[in-house]
Structure 1
C-alpha cells in the first residue's frame, strides 16, 4: 500500500477548490466533508477564541485556522482522503515501529502537501 501513486497521477479531482483560510469558509468546507468533524471544528473555534481573548494574541486563531485548512486540503480530494485512511489503518495494525515508518513518512508528505495548498 505504501508508495501508491499520488493524487495528481490518479486523476481524482478535488470536490471543490481550496477555500480561503477564514473561519466561515473553513466551517462550510468542514461541514460538507465530515459533519462529525464540524462539531470538533466548533468546539476548537470557541476554545481558540477564548484563548485569544485571554492572552490578547491572535496566535490561537491563526493556529486554529491553519490546522483546519490542512484538514480540508487533505480531505477535499477523495483519493487523498482514502489514502490517508488506508495509511492510518496500516499504522494502527503495525506490530512494530519499523513496520509503521513507511506509512508515517507518506502521511508526513501528505501533510506537507496539504499545508502548501492551504498556504497558497
Structure 2
C-alpha cells in the first residue's frame, strides 16, 4: 500500500492505488474461503515442482480459473 501511495503521489494519479486495491481485493477473495486458499497454495507448490510443460500448463490453468473467480467477486 505504501508503495502504491508513493507511486500515486509521484504520478499525480490514483491509478496505482486502484491497482493495489484490486490486487488486495482478489487476495482477500481467495483467502476468505479456506479450501480455495489451500488449493492455491497446493497449486503454487505443484508449479514449483512440475517436471514438464504439460503438468505446468494444467496447474497454471486451474490457478488462472481460481484467480479469475476471485477477480469476478471483486470487480465493480
TM-score, normalised relative to structure 2? 0.94
Which structure 2 segments of 5+ residues have no match?
A: none
Alignment match of 1:88 (pick from 41, 44, 53): 44
| Higher helix proportion (structure 1 or 2) | 2
Which structure 1 segments of 5+ residues have no match?
A: 1-44
Runs of 4+ in 1 over 6 A off after TM superposition: none
Query: Which residue in the other structure is 1:58 paired with?
Result: 14
RMSD (CA atoms): 0.9
Is 1:72 the counterpart of 2:28 in the alignment? Answer: yes
CA distance in 2, matches of 1:95, 1:50: 40
Query: Which residue in the other structure is 1:100 paired with?
Result: 56
**What number of residue pairs does the alignment pair up?**
76
TM-score, normalised relative to structure 1? 0.61
